[in-house]
Structure 1
Amino acid sequence: MSDSYTLIKGSVPLLISMPHNGEAIPADIAEVMTAKGREVADTDWYMDRLYAFAKALGAYILMPKYNRYVIDLNRDPDGVDLYPGANNTELCPTTAFDLSPLYKEGCAPTSEQITERVKNYWQPYHQALKSTMQAIKAEFGQAVLLEAHSIQSHVPRFFQGQLPDFNFGNADGKSCSPELISTLVGLDYAPYTMVCNGRFKGGYITRAFGQPDNGLHAIQLELSQFTYMNEQAMTYNETLAMQVQPKLEALVKALITFAATLSKNAKD
C-alpha cells in the first residue's frame, strides 16, 4: 500500500494493472474543477470488483487511488500522443470524453502543476509497475502484464458506432509474443464480440513495458462497459457482470498458464 496506489502481491507470473480504476481527486484539484469534472465520468469503473477473482488465482494486482482526470497514468509523461492524427486525451486531461470542460475557466493545470502531478502520482505508479515486473521476472524468468481497462460502448470522440465488447491491443504485435496473442484470440468469447489492435492498440504502459525479447509481455484489454454496467447510471450490473466474468476468468487463467509455461521453458 502506498499513498497513491495499492499493490496486491501474488504468486504467479502475471501482473494486472488497472491504471484508470482510481476515483479520488485531491481537494485542492477538486475545488478548481467543474461539477462535471468531479463526477469522474470517464473512470474505468469497478475494475477491481470485476476482476476480484484474480486475487484467488494468484495474480499480482496494481491499482491507483487517484482518478485519470488528475493525471492519466497510461500516457507518455512528455505528452506525446498515443494515436498521432486522431483525437487524443492529454496527460492531464482538460476535457471529458464528451468534450465538456473539466476545469473552471482559467483553472486548467499549468506546466508546473503537471510536473508536480507527474512526480506525485505518475512516477510512483510506474515505479511500482517496473519493480513488480522485474521482481516477477527475477522469480519466474518471464513476466506477463495485463492492462485492464474499460470504456463506454459509445464514445463518438474516439470511434463511430458501438465498440466491440473485448478490445485487445498489443501495439500491433510489438508488446507480446505472437504465441500469446494467438492464445488470447483462440479463446471462446461468444456471445461477445472481440477484436485485436482495432481502435485500441494498447496505451503507453503496454507499449513501454511490453518487451517480449526480454521476457516481458504486455497486453491491453479495453472492455466495453456495456458488458457489465448500467452505462448511463454508471452503476454495476451484477447480472451482466456474472455473465462476462467467466470469460475474463478464462482469459486470466490462459495468461497465467502461458506465463508459467514460458517460465518453465526458460528454466529448462
Structure 2
Amino acid sequence: MTPVEVVRGDGPVVLGLPHTGTHVPEAIRARLTPRGRTLSDTDWYVHRLYDGLLPGATTVRATFHRYVIDANRPPSGESLYPGQNTTGLIPLTDFDGHPLWETEPAPEDIGSRRRDYHDVYHAALAAELERVRAKHGIAILYDCHSIRSEIPFLFEGRLPDFNIGTNSGRSCAPAIAEATARICSEAEGYTSVLNGRFKGGWTTRHYGRPAEGLHAIQMELAQDTHLMSESPPFDYDPAGAAQLRPHLAAILHALEDYAFTQGATR
C-alpha cells in the first residue's frame, strides 16, 4: 500500500489528513500489544467527514497508522508540548498512557520508518503546497484531526468540540484564525477554543509561514461530534456528521474566500 494518497484540486486550499490511516504492516502489527492492535487513537472517519465539502480542495492523506510513525510529530522526536503528557514520533504509549509495544521500536526502526513513511508523506504535502502556491500565489493548509473528548492522561475535563490551532497566531494570517473562530463560536450547540490545549502539531508549525504566502491552521474535533461512540467499534454517526459538516464547509469556504481576497487566481 502506498504511504500517501493525493487527490489534486485546482483551488488554494489543501487538506492534510495525517492520522486517518489504519494500515500497519504485519511485521509491525505483530509487535503491538493487543490493546495497541485496536488502533484506538485513529482520527476515525475524518476523511469521510470532510469529503466533498470544498470543491477544488487538494487532499493529502497518510494511509499508515500513527503507531507506525506519527506524521504530525517533528522528525527529530522533540516534544511539541514540553512538560505535558503527549505521544512521540513513534508512540510508546496510547493516549491513556498504556504501553503499545510487546517489543519497542529500536533506533534503526525509527530511521527506516521515518524514511519510508514520514518523509514520503511530507514530501507529498510539501509538493502540493508548492504547486498550489505557484498557481494561486497563496496556499492555505487546513490540517484535519479528531480526538476523544475526554482523555485524562492528556488534558483535564472535556475538550471543546472545535479546537483551533495556529501556533499561537504564528502559522497563519490573523484573518484566517478570526474567520474560523467566528464560525465555530456561532455554531449553535457546539463549543470551541482557539489555541487551547492543541495549538497545532508539527505540520501546522512547520508549514505555516504567512510572510511567504503559506498559511496553516489545525482543527482538532472532539470525536463525539461525529462518532456513535468514542470506544470500539468507533462507528460513524451519520446524524451527528450531518449537523457538523455545514460548519466545516463554512470554514473551508471562508479560507478559500480569504485566498481570493488576497489576489489568488481563480
**Same-fold call, TM > 0.5?**
yes
Identical pairs, percent: 41
For 2:21, give the aligned amino acid. Answer: G
Task: Compute the displacement of 1:25 (Å).
Answer: 0.3
- Which consecutive unaligned segments of at least 5 residues does structure 2 have? none
The equivalent of 1:118 in structure 2 is 114
The correspondence for 1:174, drawn from 164, 170, 174, is 170
**How far apart are the structure 2 equivalents of 1:47 and 1:58?**
18
Report matched runs for 1:1-268 at 5 Å: 3-54=2-53, 57-104=55-102, 107-187=103-183, 188-229=186-227, 230-233=229-232, 234-264=234-264
Task: Compute the displacement of 1:60 (Å).
Answer: 0.3
Task: Compute the displacement of 1:129 (Å).
Answer: 1.0
Cα displacement string for residues 128-161 of structure 1 (whole angstroms, at most 9, x for unaligned residues): 1111111100000000000000000001111111
**How far apart are the structure 2 equivalents of 1:63 and 1:25?**
15
For 2:165, give the aligned amino acid. Answer: G
Which deviates more from structure 2 when the two are superposed, residues 233-242 or residues 218-227? 233-242
For 2:207, give the aligned amino acid. Answer: F
Cα displacement string for residues 46-67 of structure 1 (whole angstroms, at most 9, x for unaligned residues): 011101123x611001111110
Task: Compute the displacement of 1:220 (Å).
Answer: 0.2
**How far apart are the structure 2 equivalents of 1:85 and 1:253?**
36
**How far apart are the structure 1 equivalents of 2:214 and 2:131?**
11
**How far apart are the structure 1 equivalents of 2:260 and 2:192?**
25
Cα displacement string for residues 86-124 of structure 1 (whole angstroms, at most 9, x for unaligned residues): 1120100011111121111xx100111000000000001
**How far apart are the structure 2 equivalents of 1:165 and 1:259?**
26
**How far apart are the structure 2 equivalents of 1:32 and 1:69?**
11
Which deviates more from structure 2 when the two are superposed, residues 160-169 or residues 45-54? 45-54
For 1:42, give the aligned amino acid. Answer: D
For 1:27, give the aligned amino acid. Answer: E
Task: Compute the displacement of 1:198 (Å).
Answer: 0.3
User: TM-score, normalising length from structure 1?
Assistant: 0.95
Task: Compute the displacement of 1:263 (Å).
Answer: 3.2
Q: Residues 12 and 260 of structure 1 are in contact (CA less than 8 Å); yes or no, is this contact kept in structure 2?
A: no
Matched position secondary structure for 1:35: coil
**How far apart are the structure 1 equivalents of 2:145 and 2:24?**
19
Aligned residues: 261
Matched position secondary structure for 2:254: helix
Matched position secondary structure for 2:260: helix
Matched position secondary structure for 2:178: helix
**How far apart are the structure 1 equivalents of 2:191 and 2:263?**
31
Matched position secondary structure for 2:263: helix
RMSD: 1.1
For 1:6, give the aligned amino acid. Answer: E
**How far apart are the structure 1 equivalents of 2:130 and 2:57?**
15
**How far apart are the structure 1 equivalents of 2:256 and 2:42?**
27
**How far apart are the structure 2 equivalents of 1:35 and 1:236?**
23
